[in-house]
Amino acid sequence: MPLDPMLPPTAEPPPTAPVLLVTGGSRGIGAATVRLAARQGWDVALNCRHRIDEAEALALELRALGRRALVLPADVADEAQVLAMFAALDAGFGRLDGLVNNAGVVDMGARLDEMDGARLRRMVEVNLLGSLYCAREAVRRMSPRHGGAGGAIVNVSSTAARLGAAGTYVDYAATKAAIDTFSIGLAREVAAEGIRVNAVRPGIIDTEIHASGGQPDRVAQVAASLPMRRAGRAEEVAEAIVWLLGPAASYTSGAILDVSGAR
């Protein structure tokens, strides 16, 4: 039906855009993904844990682009919080077409024989269990078995999964290797249900994660030794993630894409 030229334009776009949830969307690779996806037409729910003000500021930026945006704070390591986050997503958007399992942590560089149990548990709970909880909830919304219409999941792994991170964080590397295996398995499990699952393996990317691992200067220190003589930018990883989410990647599933500048 043609629009009535006498009616004022509505402030909100019609709620027909695909909906994306990005965990850890407040900064770094997650925030770059949120920005790019919004520019390409996704409405976005951004999860974060602590930096709620930064997530809210980003949501305002997206709304200024005419996109719908929702901030959903939750610790992805806590199953109850993940369930509450997805319930809030259902209430706010009523659909889910894409999930980026991006929230992740490192810890101080150490050998395994120096790591305590609390650190090891936390690493597995955030990086692995958090992604499993969120992917499960996404499949419960995307799969036709549950009334869904398909979708795409991108898990953010790391080159540490194949390099091992000896002497710094073998625990982190092990969780990311598990993410790779999980991505292949889930992709095969839900391929016939219209859900694609892929992983992106970033190399060394210039974000704040290195400071949280006690190495704020890591990027500057290692840049010259990297194959491209520089670290990557969050935006360069976001390009791969958003491509994997979209229709241009319609026959790509179960893939693990290195975005590591040949590292």
Residues that bind ligand NAP (CB under 6 A): 23-24, 26-30, 47-51, 75-77, 102-105, 126, 156, 158, 202, 204-205, 207-209, 212
| CA-to-CA dists, residue 69 to 8, 64, 72, 122, 131, angstroms | 23, 10, 10, 29, 21
Whether 251 is catalytic:
no
Q: What angle do CA 222, 176, 260 make, to 5 degrees?
A: 40
Helix axes of 130-142 and 79-92: crossing angle, nearest 10 degrees: 30
- Token couple for 74: 């939750």
Name residues whose C-beta falls within 8 Å of residue 7's C-beta, 6 or more positions apart in sequence. none
- Return the CA Rg of the chain: 19
The nearest distance, CB 174 to ligand NAP, in angstroms, is 12
CA–CA dist 83, 94 (Å, integer): 15
DSSP 127: I
The nearest distance, CB 75 to ligand NAP, in angstroms, is 4
The nearest distance, CB 18 to ligand NAP, in angstroms, is 22
CA–CA dist 125, 128 (Å, integer): 6
CA–CA dist 205, 193 (Å, integer): 34
Of residues 82 and 96, the one with the C-beta less far from ligand NAP: 82
The nearest distance, CB 60 to ligand NAP, in angstroms, is 16
Name residues whose C-beta falls within 8 Å of residue 115's C-beta, 6 or more positions apart in sequence. 107, 171
The nearest distance, CB 1 to ligand NAP, in angstroms, is 42
Of residues 115 and 149, the one with the C-beta less far from ligand NAP: 115
In the chain, % helix, strand, coil (3-state, to 5) comes to 50, 15, 35
Of residues 26 and 183, the one with the C-beta less far from ligand NAP: 26
List beta partners, residue 48. 73
Enzyme catalytic residues: 172
